Amino acid sequence: MTGVSSGGLEGHVRERLARKRLLLMTHAVVGYPSLDASWAMLEAMDAAGVDLVELQLPFSEPIADGPAFVRANQGAIQAGTSWSAYFDLMARAAKRFRFPVLFMGYYNSIFQLGAERFCARLGEAGARGFIVADLPPEEARALSAVARAKDLDPILLMTPTNSPSRLAEIGRQASGFVYCVARKGVTGKRTDLAQGVEALVARCRGATALPLAVGFGIKTPADVRELRGLADIAIVGTACLEAWEQRGPSGYGEFLKELAAETT
């Protein structure tokens, strides 16, 4: 139940939680709609006081993502976003902003680069860990071992369909914090937090002592407010992308501030 402690990321989360009731983690698909736009999003996140950020490496088949992120991944790829551009932006962000940055992506990309090189590049770019949406814990051990040797935290996912024994195994392997997937399906669709999320979080807390982040369908300031006292981190992804597309850069910044206001 204790998880694997590597100090850094978990320590940051707990230090922030000593000052706030809930942390906020946001998301950007690097290169969509452009690298300059991605940087502007990060600046707005920093200005709003976001606590953690996941930077998604564009991938052609993002199977855990809903339509908005699928379109964003495709747009970033069509714009020519490369591995080098991704890591360059991550390195700039790690040096410039107060929040830790995390890799988010799919295992095919890591497999192509190789575990050693992937972790080395993440470490060089200043990342604190990574989220691989399609890598089951049984297959993650080798990558996790390489990562921890380089002070990177593999962020593992717990889902509503996990059995108690599987949750326990994920809890044994986890470090940094745990990503609790609030419902079945892909990202984007709003989650009714009254439908089973409290029970899911309780099950996850029984499997790990690490901080718990809740994502998938957290879309509004009211959703974030509902997670206070339940989760440790609220994850908002698709709604941020929609705010950028529908409200423009200034509206995006205001939306982030509205979300952050519900975490104190």
Strand 153-155: give its sheet, edge to edge: 153-155, 129-132, 101-105, 52-56, 23-29, 233-236, 212-215, 178-181, 157-158
State the Cα–Cα distance between residues 258 and 264, nearest whole angstrom: 11
Of the candidates 54, 223, 232, 262, the residue annotated as catalytic is 54
| Of 51, 135, 44, residue with least CA distance to 101 | 51
* The residue to which tokens 């402690």 are assigned: 5
| Of 130, 49, 47, 138, residue with least CA distance to 86 | 130
- Residue 33, preceding bond cis, omega within 30 degrees? yes
Structure tokens of 35?
């690298």
First-to-last alpha carbon distance for the chain, in angstroms, is 28
Of the candidates 15, 46, 61, 65, the residue annotated as catalytic is 65
- Cβ atoms of 261 and 222 within 8 Å: the answer is no
- Cβ atoms of 212 and 231 within 8 Å: the answer is yes
What's phi and psi for 210, nearest 5 deg?
A: -70, 160
User: Has 54 been annotated as catalytic?
Assistant: yes
| Helices 238-261, 67-78: crossing angle, 10 deg rounding | 110
User: Has 245 been annotated as catalytic?
Assistant: no
Catalytic residue set: 54, 65
